[in-house]
Amino acid sequence: MARRRSRKSEAEEHVNHERWLVSYSDMLTVLLGLFIVLYAMSQVDQAKYEALRASLSAGFGNESILVGETGVLDETDDVSAGEVDGTSDVFSPVEPIDDLVVPDPQEALRAAAAAEVDRLEGVRQAITDRLSAAGLGSAVQMRITERGLVIGLVADDVFFAPASAELTVTARAVLDTIAPVLVAIDDEVAIEGHANVLPVSGRYATNWELSADRATQVLRRFVEGGGLPAGRVLAVGFGDARPIASGSDPGSLAMNRRVDVVVLSSAPEQVRALVPSALGE
């Protein structure tokens, strides 16, 4: 007779039908906490309120914190009045300001031109002082134009002999004296050679070559002897096309035999155009 195996009957898992009570209790606890907080907020402890206000005022450096009538939005403000029924003028159009001053662009340009003239006058005065100290005060003629400061090396045969581009002893002394002033500023420098109407012969085919060589000799003296940066200087020859004196008398011929050293103004073109008016011309 076969033995019958005994099989343990497994108990079924108990289903907890009261699990909703846990969530319900949690909700009641949260509601209770909310009501306690609301109640506490409705009961203002004046002493604690004053202590809080004093602490905040000390921290923010403003004694008007938590004081309704003298706070950031005081009683004169439209927002603090709390009028949201459409009668408030918080968002009303801003009234035009009658005394609003609109800057005049032309006036700003005139002021910039006057400032540029003052700066160039300072450069001219520095050159004048150095030449006077060296006993060469009358060796150059300077003028301010819309281009900048023009330093004219004109003095009979002081700088160049007729049909020659060789610098005289006086010319080298003058250039060496004004070179430190040119080095100290940031402006570009144009060296412009000129010649008179007398025809040349020998070394130079025309006055164009003669005037260009004169400008080049001045440039080399500034760069090689005076330390003027080569990137800030240029040389050009105008021949006899731009005379400053008309006529063929000895005085006019000597004045046109010259080199102009031009400190080119770096101001905008609109400002430079107003330089003559700033000079009273």
Segments in the chain below pLDDT 50: 1, 69, 71-73, 79-82, 84
pLDDT number for residue 81: 46
R_g over Cα of the chain:
45
pLDDT number for residue 183: 96
Q: Is 145 helix (H, G, I), strand (E, B) or coil?
A: strand
CB 174 within 8 Å of CB 139:
yes
CB 154 within 8 Å of CB 142:
no
CB 245 within 8 Å of CB 256:
yes
If you search the block for the tokens 């002033």, which residue do you land on? 181
Structure letter (DSSP) for residue 229: -
Quick check: pTM over 0.75? no
pLDDT number for residue 174: 93
pLDDT number for residue 69: 47
- Please tell me the distance from the alpha carbon of residue 104 to that of residue 44, in angstroms, as a whole number: 59
- Please tell me the distance from the alpha carbon of residue 115 to that of residue 108, in angstroms, as a whole number: 11
pLDDT number for residue 133: 94
CB 149 within 8 Å of CB 263:
yes
Q: Which of 153, 120, 50 is nearest to 278 (CA)?
A: 120
- Please tell me the distance from the alpha carbon of residue 8 to that of residue 10, in angstroms, as a whole number: 6
- Please tell me the distance from the alpha carbon of residue 154 to that of residue 28, in angstroms, as a whole number: 106
